[in-house]
Structure 1
Amino acid sequence: MKVCTVGLDLPEGKVKYHDDKFMELVKKCDPLKVTPFYVEFIRDDLVHADAFVVSAEKVLDLLILDMEKLEGRRDRTEDAGEKALLSRCLEGLEMEVPLCDLALAPEELALIKTLAPLSLKPTLVMGELLAVNEIITRVLAKAKMVFFYTVGKKEVHAWPVHYHADIVTCAGKIHTDLARGFIKADIVKYDDFVNVFNMQEARAKKLVHLVDRDYHIEDGDIVEIRFNV
């Protein structure tokens, strides 16, 4: 995830996210390899950012770029509904509210997306100085991202996905073959897994649930994919 900072003195580059669940799983499994989640903080590259962190004093520096784009579209369109929507969005921007924080219906959101405004991406406005890890936590929450995990002696891996992502999408995050040949998945909840010795004990205690492709991931799920290609 690339996070663009505006008006903040944060170091550029990749930062490892301190994820308590991940750290506990590493401690428990003692794997040969660990793959935590990293955020890359960048500056100036607004277009390629996945999210923004902006100081309250500089928020208009970001939002004014969206204002100019939406005003131009509003002045050109002859559609009354679109004009009203754009005017409502502009009112929010003028009140220093990023577009991602406005209450937009799905069809309104789809229309605004066609204009590719910056603040429709997750935008965290900071009025106080926070530790980097807390900033990442808040950005993830703003982006509605959660983690699932794959665990074992070979590797413990944290996988970020959008909240409520389906299990086939999650399988594809691990490897395209797992999504293509998906059969079912074994799921154990984090709280259950940390209270047993290993996955075998979790199965013996019936803590592992076999799910189909209609399952939607929950934060902290530990996942094993059954597949055939």
Structure 2
Amino acid sequence: MPKILIVGGGYAGFYTAWKLEKQLRKGEADVTMVDPLPYMTYQPFLPEVAAGSIEARHSVVAHRRHLKRTHVVTAKVTKIDHAGKVATITPPEGEPYEFAYDQIVVTAGAVSRTFPIPGIADNAIGLKTIEEAVAIRDRLMSNFDKAASLPAGPARDRLLSVVVVGGGFAGIEVFAELRSLASSLVGKYPQLTFDDTHFHLIEAMGRIMPEV
């Protein structure tokens, strides 16, 4: 039976496996999908998750719940030898092993680009995973709690300042969602006002959202 290996279980990888299950006859091919996460994330929903507009669980789809005939492997593909049609799979526990395939589909997911900006990789939070979206929301809400106990000044200003780097679709949407969240939080803290919050959007190009 031909072996099909799908690298990545994000939007492209998940739907590739899902469509193959619908198109392939029983016994026609053996499909394996490898991804370090056990779920697919709807990335366009992440700004809403960051602002608490929707629940985090509503923006993910569990692989094993929806893929009935695909072998789901929660691990990383760390090497591909296409000449020999062998991939190296590295699980979170245990030793790496080789996996022979006949066809391979590479849909490895995107990661947040940090560019050559000193400090951004150590301090900034990306917006590619559900964990990052939840971390952004938690950071903003905890900063409000801290700021409410401080007098006006640089320390409080820093806690209530949000900087979004990138003026594309995701950057603009998360900027608007977080601005909305902060505006609603202000009403719950008598010590704080709208003017105490500071939002900054940084975009290297001459315009924002050039796609539209």
Q: TM-score range by the shorter chain?
A: under 0.3
The TM-score with structure 2 as length reference comes to 0.24
TM-score w.r.t. structure 1 length?
Answer: 0.23
